[in-house]
Amino acid sequence: MASGFVVLCNHTHPFDFLYFSYILSPTFVKMFTKVKSNGEKEFLLAPLDFGYTLKYFMSNRFALPEVSDEVELSRKTPYKKLNPIKLAEHNFFEKEGPIVIFFEGAVTNGKGVLDIDPLLVDDLYDYQKKYYRNTIVASISYDDNANATSSSSLVSCLSLLMNPINHMTVKFATIPKIPTEKSEMAKCIYDIYETNHELPRVNKTWSDYKEILDTANQKNKNGQVYNGNKKDEIPKEKQKQD
């Protein structure tokens, strides 16, 4: 795949990094939202070097986007952050390969896709309209990726590699033409996931997903087992007594 193309993909397993590294040698990125003094928001991408890519690979929490003002973002995250269009232009002219964006901002179970940030959609629309480089919409799924969200990255990869009957399914599609309006761009992306990749939109953002993770982690710290239903929350001590 030529430099400057943008690949959107869901993120279900740390092995996703190894796969894309092998077939594309891309630039991986972390997502940020900068809140300006006037309240306006700007979507930014930070191209990751090997060290930060490894950190992304090893930590599900690192995948979560960050939202803050410019001063706070600079203090917390010293690496370079660029507008998606400028980053794509840089990769195109410098021949640094395509850009892979795990747009969900989290490692999920692969049963559906989280919402894509509307600011990113707007930038992709402008980039595609300016350079006629179609956005690539990809999906990755595994036979059994339960460990991807509940285990460490290393354990997840070892579990996947040691299971001889497990395999991954990868699908690619392109947005065939430039939508007439920006508002249609997101619909094109969700339609591809729904129709071509059989992954429905779950109508939740990465921040909603983070709240779910935080709630689950808190319940674990409190010695509770959470099975998705309020009545199923049972203190571990009571379980032992039973």
213 with 184, same domain: the answer is no
Q: Which residue has the higher pLDDT, 157 or 242?
A: 157
Q: Give me the DSSP letters along 74-99.
A: HHH--S--B-HHHHHHHHHHTT---E
Domain contains 239: yes
Count of domains observed in the chain: 2
The answer to whether 63 and 209 are in contact (CB under 8 A) is no
Q: Please report whether residue 176 resides in a domain.
A: yes
**Per-residue pLDDT reduced to its tens digit, 92-142:** 889 889 999 999 988 887 888 999 999 999 999 999 988 888 899 999 887
Residue 1 lies in a domain: no
Is residue 237 in a domain? yes
Q: Do 80 and 24 share a domain, yes or no?
A: yes
What average pLDDT does the segment 75-96 reach?
Answer: 85
Range of the domain at 125: 6-203
Question: Long-range contacts made by residues 212-220, C-beta under 8 angstroms, separation at least 24?
Answer: 213/106
Flag the least confident range among 27-36, 196-205, 224-233. Answer: 224-233
Distance CA 62, CA 64 (A): 5
Residues 98 and 211 in one domain: no
pLDDT at 113: 93
**Greater confidence, 188 or 37?**
188
Q: Are residues 88 and 34 in the same domain?
A: yes
Same domain, 137 and 192: yes
Residues 238, 198, single domain; the answer is no
Do 186 and 211 belong to one domain? no
Q: Which of 138, 129, 134, 152 is nearest to 103 (CA)?
A: 138
Q: Are residues 232 and 174 in the same domain?
A: no
Distance CA 195, CA 200 (A): 9
100 and 73 part of one domain: yes
Pair (227, 134) in one structural domain: no
Where does the chain show beta strands of DSSP type E?
6-9, 27-35, 41-47, 66-69, 99-102, 136-142, 168-174, 224-225, 234-235
Q: To the nearest 10°, report the CA torsion of 175, 149, 27, 127.
A: 30
Mean pLDDT value across the chain: 79
Helix (H, G, I), strand (E, B) or coil at 206: helix
Residue 236 has pLDDT above 80, yes or no: no
Q: How confident is the model at residue 162 (pLDDT cuts 50, 70, 90)?
A: low
Residue 71 lies in a domain: yes
Tokens matching residue 31: 């997502």
- Domain assignment of residue 154, yes or no: yes
Tell me, yes or no, whether 225 and 111 share the same domain. Answer: no
Q: What pLDDT is stored for residue 147 in this prediction? A: 46
Model pTM? 0.81
- Is 97 among the domain residues? yes
Residues 41 and 114 in one domain: yes
Whether residue 210 contacts residue 156, with contact meaning beta carbons closer than 8 Å, is answered with no
Amino acid in position 185: M
Mean pLDDT of 48-65: 76
Q: Are 45 and 80 in contact (CB under 8 A)?
A: no
Report yes or no on 197 lying in a domain. yes
Residue 157 contacts residue 15 (beta carbons within 8 Å) = yes
